[in-house]
Chains A and B, each alone.
Chain A
Amino acid sequence: MSKQNDLAEDQITEYVTTIIDGQLFGLPISRVQDVFMPARLTRVPLASPEVAGVLNLRGRIVTAIDMRARLGLARRDDGRPPMAVGVELRGESYGLLIDTVGEVLKLPDAGREANPINLDPRLAKMAAGIHRLDSQLLVILDVDRVLEMGSDAMAA
């Protein structure tokens, strides 16, 4: 996350773009381990609603986070399987379930704007700024804050 503070003029950050409920999001590529099709997801009873379940990704147990639930969006009803973006936090693997994965965008840090103040507060907590693209807005997701979920407090 040091890149955020490093706002040199010609600094470029690459983002893996994803679409969740029609909105374009970007995840800094430095934080993305891989993108995969989540298969054989095991639901975890009694877990918080954001936890979609756990799955086996090449011998590692990955906790799948339902990004729609995390962002407070409606459940997906088009019946299409979600994609997952693999990220790591403190040695643990997570898969962020999103609708679709888009291309990788190289965006200058200089073009990043602060969150609009009227951004949905839930989203604002996880957004690290906005990029205005030609056709739409890209919301940058802060992976650490996405994974900062209520259950942490309970686990501690």
Chain B
Amino acid sequence: MRKGLWFMDDLLREFLTETNESLDLVDVQLVRFEQEPNNAKILDNIFRLVHTIKGTCGFLGLPRLEALAHAAETLMGKFRDGMTVTGEAVTLILFSIDRIKEILDQLERTEAEPEGADADLIDQLQKMVEQGMRAMADAAAPPEPAVPQLTEGTLVLQVLERPLRPGEVSLDDLERAFRETPGPEQAPPAPPTPPASIVKAKPAAKPAQSRKFAEPEAGGDHDKVANQSIRVHVDTLEHLMTMVSELVLTRNQLLEIVRRHEDSEFKVPLQRLSNVTAELQEGVMKTRMQPIGNAWQKLPRIVRDLSGELGKQIELEMHGADTELDRQVLDLIKDPLTHMVRNSADHGLETPAERAAAGKPEQGTIRLSAYHEGGHILICIADDGRGLNTEAIKAKAISNGVVAEADVEKLTEAQIHKFIFAPGFSTAAKVTNVSGRGVGMDVVRTNIDQIGGTIDVKSVMGEGSSFTIKIPLTLAIVSALIVEAAGDRFAIPQLSVVELVRARANSEYRIERIKDTPVLRLRNKLLPLLHLKKLLGIDDGRASDPENGFIVVTQVGSQTFGIVVDGVFHTEEIVVKPMSTKLRHIAMFSGNTILGDGSVIMIIDPNGIAQALGSLATQQDLVDENEAMRAASGEQMTSLLVFRAGSAQPKAVPLALVTRLEEIDVDKIERSSGRHMVQYRDQLMPLVEMDGVALRSSGAQPILVFADDGRAMGLVVDEIVDIVEERLNIEVASSRDGVLGSAVIKGSATEVIDVGHFLPMAFADWFHRKEAMPSMHAQSVLLIDDSPFFRNMLGPVLKAAGYRPTVTASAQEALGILRSGQQFDAILTDIEMPEMNGFEFAEALRADTRMADMPIIALSSTISPAAIERGRQAGFYDYVAKFDRPGLIAALKEQTAELHQAA
């Protein structure tokens, strides 16, 4: 026996691989079968699989396995003959399959079938068969007339809504007949008649023998696929992959050489080589691709067992199981997925009683889906359970010391939910057999981090939670952006790069500083910036231009940040090589690679950088979440610069009005003709002190710079506190000069200053000089905004730009003015207004022939392509962001200039 196996080494190995695969399939199929006990097709599949196992065992001389498989097969044979499928019976078969797996495991290790008997299981299986037989006999005996109906097939009712008419054959039977036809020793192709099946069932052991050889042919479609594929050892593929990687590198090197020699005769053949290499690479990558369903195979069984264990009714939906991804990634994702499905079943879903009380169907659903998006795969695990308990997480986070009690109130729900990924975090009050040991989600996250993926959670209390995992398709070859920092080159995986921004002083994108923290204002969003060379501790001391630089806007999960680099070269397909163990502790790198020119460079790990962002990141998250909230609720959020000047009470000014924040050395401030001035960008800039503010005697003096049309003034303040996103609601109007009113910002009463008051203090003619322009005719503008703050802010801005503004608080009022015959060169209107909004106003205007030609510009705090399109349809000439002062003026100029040309 032992010796026999020795000779059959290869055969045995193949048997093991094949059988393990088959068993996994049986698991899945059985669970499906239990749900649809009348689906003969599934039953056929299972039967065939178990039968093949049994047959092979007999052939290889594995009596223990054979006996067990045989007993299970007999029971399944009974199902085929119409025995009622009970959960009990399925459980029993599942147990048998587990036992078979155990034996196979040992077989693999020792190359011999382990000693032992399975009489317990076999007895149970047989008992179940007898029970079923008896039940079947009971059922079959009394309704004698029913026999003819049975003749038409055992599976009649589920296939058609109505019973089959005599002579009709059920679809399943047809299919079975079709499939069984080629088998030479097969039962007659006609639908099995009840007497036949009973006869077949009685001497259960014998026919199985005869069918043993016929069966493999029975699985027609299955076999066809099998014949077209071969088994290749994973090592062979890995080796192939490594060689292709080397080839890619060599090709890159050759390309690099040819790039240097303009007219090389190698160019054409090399191009060909390059294409072939690319194709080869793609082909080899394809061999490594496997459907994600392979990682899901065990889940139905797990869920089934869990639902029994936990007393919950759980349905597992799986979508996109054929989505393919790299084998290596698949292996790494398998365990986290299983864990998360367990979690959903255990923590997420409620008991049937709880669900009923909450007005939900008793059966809970876990939905698993996978799909491609860009170079990523997105996997979503969602349940319709109770959702995450924000309060419990909060309490746990505080007690674990993950977050300070004082800070937790500032966090949004989404941020609190993220704490579940912190190490040792489990809010389950009691530890169950299934989960709740607090070693869950952080491990999941670590696993996902390792493969450069991200995980995100969304949860609504009482409605369920969903986890989204985003992972790269492959780990071996990635597209990367090659950047330079302090003279060294680094690769940043393209997957996490959102965009590249060239920051320059005086341009739309410029690097600014809040205290010492560099930020980039990118489309009304503040992006925290990190200097790569500082992060890596390789600052060469060479003063990099504080305002200029290349910014790689990077996204990790929901965090977006900018990495400031000295230069950007190009993107290159790089072959990721694992780092030496001596370097693996460096979180900033995920690997290294050889570039086309042969040099080795380090690959930046965006996750590591995100972690380095540390506390800053949480703040940024806050801004992000706020922004998301704003978008969702349509609330108008305003970026405000909070500072102190003259008093302890904070003051604020809309950030968009501030051109820059500066700290100027007090020594550089000069006094001339009773005013403070400072040399600023080759100009003399006047400084204006707010009431109660005194210039510092030494050190750096913070000032807010307001610039317009080549002129700049500095407002001297005591301290710049913060930049906040806040819904600006001026509650108390002020009669004091220079103050528009008070608003509650971050919980404290803050004075919102009126920039318009201070500008003329620097240049007395700030608002007038343009009126003296050659045109001699200031153009009139009608401004409509329901918010007094904006009316107050934009009025002076328009005046400053040389227009004559008329300000109204509502669209109706504006229509009234217009209908009274007053003419304007342009109309500026807010979009978000009560009663009549900007779109409706524009449409009303367009409908009126007298006013249809008046240029109308939309002002909005939310700018989206959809809104712009809507605006265009409503008849707006232009669509400008509320705080985009230069944009507004430019738009006005354009519209009024056109008007004049036309006139």
Interface of A toward B, CB cutoff 8 Å: 40, 42-48, 51, 54-56, 59, 61, 63, 65, 90, 92, 94, 147, 149, 151-152, 154-155
- B577 lies within 8 A of chain A by Cβ: yes
Q: Which residues of A contact B594 (CB under 8 A)?
A: 56, 59, 61
Write out the residue numbers on chain A whose beta carbons fall within 8 Å of the beta carbon of B583.
44, 47, 51, 54, 63, 151, 155
Q: How far is the CA of A11 from the CA of B29 in the complex (A)?
A: 66
Which parts of B570-612 form the interface with A (CB within 8 Å)? 577, 580-586, 588-589, 592, 594, 598-602
The answer to whether A151 and B582 have CB atoms under 8 Å apart is yes
The 10 closest A-B pairs by CB, nearest first: A45-B536, A154-B585, A63-B580, A155-B584, A54-B600, A45-B538, A46-B586, A40-B599, A42-B600, A56-B594
Establish whether residues B592 and A54, one from each chain, have CB atoms under 8 Å apart when the complex forms.
yes
Question: What would 15 more interface pairs be, CB under 8 Å, given A44-B586, A59-B250?
Answer: A40-B600, A42-B599, A44-B583, A45-B586, A54-B580, A54-B583, A56-B598, A59-B246, A61-B580, A61-B592, A92-B581, A94-B580, A151-B584, A155-B581, A155-B583
As a 0/1 sequence over residues 220 to 260 of chain B, the CB contacts with chain A under 8 angstroms (1 = contact) are 00000000000000000000000000100110000000000
Interface residues of B in 129-155 (CB under 8 A from A): none
The reply to whether B581 and A56 form a contact with Cβ atoms under 8 Å apart is no
Give the shortest distance, in Å, between B111 (CB) and chain A (any CB). 28
B699 in the interface (beta carbon within 8 A):
no
Question: 15 interchain pairs (CB within 8 A)?
Answer: A43-B538, A45-B488, A45-B538, A45-B588, A46-B537, A54-B580, A54-B602, A59-B250, A92-B580, A92-B581, A149-B582, A151-B583, A154-B585, A155-B583, A155-B585
* A51 in contact with B582 (CB, 8 Å): yes
Chain B residues with Cβ below 8 Å from A47 are: 582-583, 586
Pairwise interchain contact A40-B598, C-beta atoms closer than 8 A: yes
**Chain A residue, CB-CB nearest to B597:** A40
Q: Which size class do B's interface residues fall under?
A: 20 to 34
**B interface residues with partner A (beta carbon < 8 Å):** 246, 249-250, 488, 536-538, 577, 580-586, 588-589, 592, 594, 598-602
**Is there contact, CB below 8 Å, between B585 and A43?**
no
> Are B582 and A155 in contact, with the CB atoms below 8 A?
yes
**B residues within 8 A CB of A147?**
582
Interface of A is mostly: mixed
Query: Chain B nearest CB: distance from A94 CB in Å?
Result: 8
Nearest Cβ in chain B — how far from A50, in angstroms?
Answer: 8
Q: Are A152 and B249 touching (Cβ within 8 A)?
A: no
Contacts of A40 in B (CB 8 A): 598-600
A63 near B488 with CB under 8 A, answer no
Cα distance, A47 to B536, chains bound together (Å): 10
Closest to B591 in A: A61
Closest-CB distance, A32 to chain B (whole angstroms): 18
B582 is contacted by which of A55, A56, A152 (Cβ under 8 Å)?
A152
State in angstroms the CA–CA spacing of A151 and B582 once bound together. Answer: 6
Smallest beta-carbon distance B173→chain A, Å = 59
Given contacts A59-B246, A149-B582, A155-B584, contact A43 B599 (CB under 8 A): no
Is there an interface contact between B600 and A56, defined as CB atoms closer than 8 Å?
yes
Q: How far is the CA of A37 from the CA of B589 in the complex (A)?
A: 26
Q: Provide the residues of chain A in CB contact with B577, threshold 8 Å.
A: 61
Contacting residues, chain A, for B592 (C-beta < 8 A) = 54, 61
Cα–Cα distance between A61 and B708 once the two chains are bound (Å) = 55
CA distance A154 to B587 in the complex (A): 11
Given A54-B580, A59-B594, A151-B582, A45–B600 Cβ distance below 8 Å?
A: no
Q: In the complex, what residues of B have CB within 8 A of residue A90's CB?
A: 581
> How far does the Cβ of B565 sit from chain A's closest Cβ, in whole Å?
13
Write the nearest CB–CB distance from B453 to chain A, whole angstroms: 21
- Chain B residues with CB under 8 A of A46: 536-537, 586, 588
Chain A residues within an 8 Å CB radius of B246 = 59
Which residue on B lies nearest to A153, using beta carbons? Answer: B585
A44: contacting residue among B249, B598, B599, B602, CB under 8 A: B602
A48 and B582 contact, CB distance less than 8 A:
yes
Residue of A nearest to B587 (CB): A46
| Minimum CB distance partner of A63 in chain B | B580
Docked CA distance A147–B582 (Å): 9
How far is B581's CA from A118's CA once the two chains are assembled, in angstroms?
32
How far in angstroms is the closest Cβ of chain A from B612?
Answer: 11
Write the chain B residue with the least CB distance to A46. Answer: B586
